Amino acid sequence: MTERPHRNFYGRLKGKPLKSSQKTYIAEDLAALSPGPVSWEDNPERAPLDVDALFGGRPLWLEVGFGGGEHLVHQAAENPDVGIIGAEPYINGVAMLLGKIRRAGVDNLAVHPGDARDLMDVLPEASVARAFLLYPDPWPKSRHHRRRFVTPEHLEPLARTLKPGAIFRVATDIEDYVRQTLEEVPKAGFDWLAEGPTDWREPWDDWIATRYEQKALREGRVPHYLTFRRQG
């Protein structure tokens, strides 16, 4: 048995009480959408997931922290030829996603309702063709910057799971998060693909604004769209 490393959830795991419909989504849909044995209780040896069996050999994408699931469902609907796994520990966001999946009728999604680090433990090396980190928790206080996703603790396992040439997209409205992203992501083995200001000021062609982006715009913050490519 592999010894479980010390990991803390730093953000919220739950918010307001779930609606009865959301409880139904979780009870009826969540288990069927599992990517496989991810948790340490179910997979103490950290055996790799069979992602080819999960999505029938389709290319695999990953969204880290999908929030309310708007972008995840949008990408699944627009790209039926890929399979996408979303990881999110906030159970209210998971419930919102499950409702959106029902309404959209997409069948190329898997959902891990927990820490993306646990999921990356069991994703095979070089198995992911694209990854998204969209409006992650900014942890604005300096003493909390180590809790951000764009640190070696997260970026190194993410880089391990990405195929050479895979695209990694980061969206944030926090300027200091942009700074840390541009400092840390290249160190983990990525190239920043921007050639001019429009490459980080304008969203991607297949972008859909999330609820977090809409809030940022209402409050006068400027979104940044950063695109990286895995080296190798």
Number of domains in the chain: 1
Expressed as residue numbers, the domain containing 221 is: 20-230
| Residue 160: inside a domain | yes
Integer Cα distance of 208 and 211 in angstroms = 10
Integer Cα distance of 214 and 183 in angstroms = 27
Residue 1 scores a pLDDT above 70? no
| Residue 72: inside a domain | yes
Indicate the residue type of 9.
Answer: F
| Residue 213: inside a domain | yes
Please give the full DSSP string across 33-93, using - where no structure is assigned. Answer: G--S--STTT-TT-PPP-HHHHHTT--EEEEE--TTSHHHHHHHHH-TTSEEEEE---HHH
Over the stretch 49-94, which tens digit does the pLDDT of each residue have?
Answer: 999 999 999 999 999 999 999 999 999 999 999 999 999 999 999 9
Contacts with 148 (C-beta within 8 Å, 6 or more apart), sequence order = 136, 137, 138, 139, 177, 180
219: tokens are: 């409050």
Residue 10 scores a pLDDT above 60? no
| Residue 10: inside a domain | no
| Residue 124: inside a domain | yes
Residue 28 scores a pLDDT above 80? yes
pLDDT reported for residue 6: 67
CATH number at residue 180: 3.40.50.150
| Residue 190: inside a domain | yes
| Residue 161: inside a domain | yes
Q: Which residues are part of the catalytic machinery?
A: 137
Over the stretch 164-174, which tens digit does the pLDDT of each residue have?
Answer: 999 999 999 99
Contacts with 215 (C-beta within 8 Å, 6 or more apart), sequence order = none
Integer Cα distance of 152 and 156 in angstroms = 5
| Residue 211: inside a domain | yes
pTM of the model: 0.94
Largest CA distance in the chain: 50
pLDDT reported for residue 4: 77
